[in-house]
């Protein structure tokens, strides 16, 4: 199966046998819902700072957090962590997750430190992946960071029609 959409990619993670996953960068939880709808998960950890430090002009950022809590309150598979990506990673054991999906801060430095922090938590044969495999201006350099970290040979890219691509790497 060759994934063509983010939904396909979630189905692919299911086929890969993923049961324990983390999404870093959740926003309103739309992609988290896609993961929950398409993977037979035992646990999905949702990590997001929901902070005005990231969205200085958005006074509703706490409301978004409340909406996400409401959205998943009846789903026992979901655990929500309102904190910074690299701090959250410190709470996880080595090799404890089948996948980590990165979609938080998109600067070169953030993506590098997110990969560095979270890769340790992915089991051998598990998947580290993320959204927006492209570069847009100096503060949006996911592709450059992922290529720098892993080297071109290890990276798989799913070009999603009408959307920025998803990248994934097998640990």
Ligand X SMILES: C[S@@+](CC[C@H](N)C(=O)[O-])C[C@H]1O[C@@H](n2cnc3c(N)ncnc32)[C@H](O)[C@@H]1O
Instruction: Tell me how far, at minimum, the Cβ of 10 lies from ligand X, in Å.
Output: 11
Q: Give the nearer residue to ligand X in terms of CB position, either 109 or 125.
A: 109
Q: Give the nearer residue to ligand X in terms of CB position, either 122 or 166.
A: 166
**Which residues are at the interface with ligand X (CB under 6 A)?**
25-27, 30-31, 48-50, 54, 84-85, 103-105, 110
Instruction: Tell me how far, at minimum, the Cβ of 158 lies from ligand X, in Å.
Output: 14
Q: Give the nearer residue to ligand X in terms of CB position, either 20 or 118.
A: 118
Instruction: Tell me how far, at minimum, the Cβ of 41 lies from ligand X, in Å.
Output: 16
Closest CA to 123 of 33, 20, 27, 42: 20
Instruction: Tell me how far, at minimum, the Cβ of 18 lies from ligand X, in Å.
Output: 16
Q: Give the nearer residue to ligand X in terms of CB position, either 73 or 153.
A: 73
């Amino acid at each position: 199966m060759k994934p063509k959409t983010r939904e396909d990619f979630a189905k692919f993670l299911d086929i890969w046998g993923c049961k324990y996953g983390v999404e870093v960068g959740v926003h309103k939880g739309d992609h988290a819902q896609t993961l929950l709808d398409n993977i037979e998960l035992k646990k999905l950890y949702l990590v997001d700072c929901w902070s005005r430090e990231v969205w200085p002009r958005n006074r509703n950022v706490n409301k978004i957090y409340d909406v996400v809590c409401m959205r998943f309150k009846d789903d026992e598979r979901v655990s929500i962590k309102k904190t910074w990506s690299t701090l959250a990673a410190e709470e996880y054991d080595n090799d404890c997750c089948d996948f980590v999906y990165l979609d938080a801060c998109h600067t070169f430095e953030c993506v590098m430190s997110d990969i560095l922090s979270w890769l340790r938590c992915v089991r051998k044969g598990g998947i580290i992946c993320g959204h927006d495999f492209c570069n847009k201006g100096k503060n949006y350099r996911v592709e450059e960071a992922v290529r720098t970290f892993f080297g071109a040979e290890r990276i798989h890219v799913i070009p999603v029609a009408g959307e920025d691509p998803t990248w994934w790497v097998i640990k």
